[in-house]
Amino acid sequence: MIPVLNAHNALFLDIDGTLIDLAQTPDGVVVPEGLPALLRRLQTGLGGALAILSGRKLADIDRLLGAFPCAAEHGVLVRQESGGVAVPTVQRPALYEHWLRVFNRYAEAMPGILVEEKEFSLVLHYRRAPEHEEELRALAEKLVAESDDAVLLPAHCAFELKARGGNKGDALAGFMTIAPFAGRKPVFIGDDTTDEPAIAMANELGGRGLHVKHDFGGETANVRAWLAAADLG
């Protein structure tokens, strides 16, 4: 059963596939009307204890939703206060520029492949060319095997080479040690394998980790409706 969100919770939310529908490209997503305002209302009702945990770049989070406490790039870049300074928890992988050259060569040879550059990771998106999935998986596995400071994150139609260290679970745990999150029961909602550490951490800390597919029928609209129904006083 999905819990009732109350004023004693701390709320953590993924973006893509959770708050908004996935799109063919990261820049192609559509933010539903009223979503940023809804999140602001929830943040106020929770005494400020709302944070975004996303794989997106920090600038993308702010562009889509506005400035909230957040963990960008899967927890590698953490901003504790709305509009505050984001602090990196790791360094950029040493082979970043090499990976970028390799990824770009593949993107040039494979129509539909998109390379996304982040501050601490690189992503190969193949949603528009799913026939290349296994070839790109092999490429990503080969490249990460050559590195001692990076990990491979498979996601929805994407392979991401990311700096080792930091994940959404660690970010959630970190937020729960500081005001206004400390002393509350965490609720996290996510939809992807990259969200599993945060789902597990929310449960470990006595709260609830929720999955869009299992708890909301796979529909982001159901997540937004559940958030909108919250009565936080």
Q: In terms of C-beta distances under 8 Å and separation of at least 24 residues, what long-range contacts does 194-199 make, across chains too?
A: 194/55, 194/74, 194/153, 194/155, 194/167, 194/168, 195/14, 195/18, 195/53, 195/168, 196/169, 197/167, 197/168, 197/169, 197/170, 198/12, 198/14, 198/53, 198/167, 198/168, 198/169, 198/171, 198/172
Q: Which residues are catalytic?
A: 14
First-to-final CA distance of the chain? 22
Secondary structure class of 20 (helix, strand, coil): strand
Beta partners for 117?
122
- Identity of the amino acid at 147: S
